[in-house]
Structure 1
Amino acid sequence: MSTLLVPLRRLPLAARPFTRRTFATSSSNLASWGFIGLGRMGYPMAKNLRSHIPKGDTLVIHDVNTAATSKFAEEVQGNVEVASSVRDVAEKAETIITSLPEPSHVKSVYKAMLMPQTLLKGSIPQERLFIDCSTIDPRTSREVAQAAQGQGKFIDAPMSGGVVGAQAGKLTFMIGAPKELVERATEVLLMMGKRVIHLGEQGAGLHGKLANNYLLALNNIATAEAMNMGIKWGLDPAALADMINTSTGRCWPSEVNNPVPGVIESAPASRGYEGGFGVSLANKDLKLALQAAEEAGIQVALGPYARDIYDAVQANPECQGKDFSVVYRHLGGKE
């Protein structure tokens, strides 16, 4: 059995509603954790991780935005160490979580962590557990997993739930991992979320996430068009949304993230489309799904049309940097 999977200690059950195993490499029975990428999602995820690991454990953090790491170290209680580089994180931490924006970032970060191939010759001889929560293409994820062999195990664990879910610790993680790593990964991820779904071997988590976000991108456009249609026919927006949400058109963009201002007070549309799931990220995930589908020889019909719409929304000065529900504004919806 790999040293990665050996249960070296157990926490009291009161620490969490489940029993959690961690690593320990010193006589003091303490473990070290790493987190790379303190963006809008990563920052609250790392905060939740720090709050649930034992006080004596160390969380080693890194981000290219030094203001974010400084702020984190100042406001988060517990042992927090700001690493000078991602390699520094890999050398000091046994379990390393990454949350990065693009495939290129994942490639460069893991290359820097894994080279030279001497991690196991340092002060921590255990294989690392790398958990990548980024939403990237499965091909890049496979390449990184292969590169990690010999120094650690790599799994893909993209998440759903948005910034609000990350802050509340209610994310859902979709993981691609061999069966022997599922329990260990689940214990780690439940410190930052509420649900972990194992979809298969490495890469399966990303395939599931991209299928979901493909559907989300299409539903978002369809909801914006349907709401715009009904309002211009003279229907009351709130009554229309209520009818849809108790009928067969019900979906997350209609019920939770309705694109019409004032219909759902907590939705980004009701605060100028600020916050939420950025239109650029929605477009990125849609394009990743289309790319992965093409590589697998899968025929899609609606995706290319949706991609063209999101490209136009991104190019619209009145929509740039907004939540993806701003497609309603782009379509001329009444605000």
Structure 2
Amino acid sequence: MSSSALSLQLRRIVSSSSRSSCVFSSRRAFSTTLSRDATWGFIGLGQMGYPMAKNLRAKIPKEDTLVICDVNAEVAKKFVAEEQGQKVEIATSPLEVAQKSETIVSSLPEPRHVKDVFHLILKDGLPKLSQDRLFIDCSTIDPVSSREVANAVHSTGAGKFVDAPMSGGVVGATAGTLTFMLGASSKTPGLAERAEGALLLMGKKVWRLGEQGAGLSGKLANNYLLAISNIAVAEAMNLGIRWGLDAKVLGQMISSSTGRCWSADVNNPVAGVIDGSPASRDYAGGFGVSLMKKDLRLAVEAAKEAGTPLELAPKAQEVYDATEAGHAGKDFSVVYKYLQEKSK
């Protein structure tokens, strides 16, 4: 099903339900206290979602239940096996997750996946629970698509929807040190507080950036900068090494000088400079180059909608296209290998 078709379906949901008497009042307050015997949902157990769900299960009360759902049934079974003795259930669909859970976290790859999941959740309506449902979408998608889904959720009376994309990569997701960028409506008292409380079970910092969609705007701005800085660090390291400098000493010097940034400090693209980095594992794991391409594309599209020039974007997209062609599936710092190959 195409993204445009899903968009149309979501708009129809909003249109047909906006006149319904089941629409929640925008003034209804959310409780920020976590009650025992609550049910939590998690949709999307990918490289980021899996460790996030693990941290969520570890930090919610033992009496609570976590309902999980992923397109890959084997991944869900693995999760349950690793959480043996904990209250974890596998749902057969996103709808089942939403039917059972008061708080639902989603972490999905693309806008079309988010729209597809929420179409399945909303198309037949949801039963009321003792507490209003809170949908926390941690996917990195475009703000327009996110607002469309939020409108559908709110119009159908299914609950409330916030966007909360994250930064910190797989390492941060595993360690529970993620930073979340939160966009939540100010019209619902307690909404941002309740979302923040849930997010801090999976991370260490929540930035409240404004109304719904603002979290994604912040994330795309951040990842645009990350895309550029990653290339710059790779070029600087390649240049210094070809001049005869020791890679580790060069990396340490940059990290204590004005060139310091996350791409140099934490995710240095040269093997052996940072122990445990993707570069030191043949660029395995980490933030895939295809995901960086996606985020860069979304940032460029959003910038065009805002009439904002991004002078370095075309060249950066060219570099990531060429890098993926030769190193698909690798961490995006593999740009360094692409530059090495060009230098020969």
* Structure 2 letter corresponding to 1:143: E
Moved more, 166-175 or 241-250: 241-250
1:89 matches 2:97: yes
Q: Name the structure 2 match of 1:12.
A: none
Is residue 30–residue 194 contact of structure 2 (8 Å, CA) maintained in 1?
no
Offset, 1:67: 0.4
Q: Name the structure 2 match of 1:36.
A: 43
Is residue 30–residue 132 contact of structure 2 (8 Å, CA) maintained in 1?
no
CA deviations on 1:266-318 (whole Å, 9 max, x unpaired) are: 211112111111111111111110011011111110011100110011111xx
Moved more, 160-169 or 234-243: 234-243
TM-score, structure 2 normalization: 0.87
Q: Name the structure 1 match of 2:177.
A: 170
Offset, 1:56: 1.6
Q: Any idea what SS the aligned residue of 1:155 has?
A: strand
Distance of aligned partners of 1:301 and 1:326 in 2 relative to their CA distance in 1, 3 Å threshold: same
Offset, 1:210: 0.5
Distance of aligned partners of 1:39 and 1:298 in 2 relative to their CA distance in 1, 3 Å threshold: same
Q: What are structure 2's unaligned runs of at least 5 residues?
A: 1-24
Within a 5 Å distance, the mapping from 1:285-296 to structure 2 comes to 285-296=295-306
1:106 matches 2:114: yes
- Pick the aligned partner of 1:284 from 257, 281, 294: 294
Q: What are structure 1's unaligned runs of at least 5 residues?
A: 8-19, 24-28
- Pick the aligned partner of 1:238 from 244, 248, 252: 248
Is residue 103–residue 133 contact of structure 2 (8 Å, CA) maintained in 1?
yes
Within a 5 Å distance, the mapping from 1:200-219 to structure 2 comes to 200-219=210-229
Q: Name the structure 2 match of 1:148.
A: 153
Moved more, 300-309 or 68-77: 68-77
**In the aligned structure 2, how far is the partner of 1:156 from the partner of 1:98?**
10
CA deviations on 1:230-262 (whole Å, 9 max, x unpaired) are: 111122212222221121111111111111111
CA deviations on 1:165-223 (whole Å, 9 max, x unpaired) are: 11111111110012431111111111111111100000010000110000000000011
Q: Give the paired residue count.
A: 313
What percent of counterpart residues are identical? 61
- Pick the aligned partner of 2:33 from 21, 27, 35: 21
Offset, 1:126: 4.0
Is residue 142–residue 203 contact of structure 1 (8 Å, CA) maintained in 2?
yes
* Structure 2 letter corresponding to 1:331: L
**In the aligned structure 1, how far is the partner of 2:39 from the partner of 2:142?**
29
- Pick the aligned partner of 1:298 from 292, 297, 308: 308
Q: Name the structure 2 match of 1:262.
A: 272
Q: Name the structure 1 match of 2:258.
A: 248
* Structure 1 letter corresponding to 2:34: T
Offset, 1:127: 2.9
Q: CA RMSD in A?
A: 1.8
Q: Name the structure 2 match of 1:49.
A: 56
* Structure 2 letter corresponding to 1:256: V
Offset, 1:123: 5.7
Q: Any idea what SS the aligned residue of 1:223 has?
A: helix
**In the aligned structure 1, how far is the partner of 2:336 from the partner of 2:211?**
38
Q: Name the structure 2 match of 1:133.
A: 138
Between 1 and 2, higher relative CO (CA 8 Å, sep ≥ 6) is seen in 2
TM-score, structure 1 normalization: 0.89
Distance of aligned partners of 1:5 and 1:22 in 2 relative to their CA distance in 1, 3 Å threshold: farther
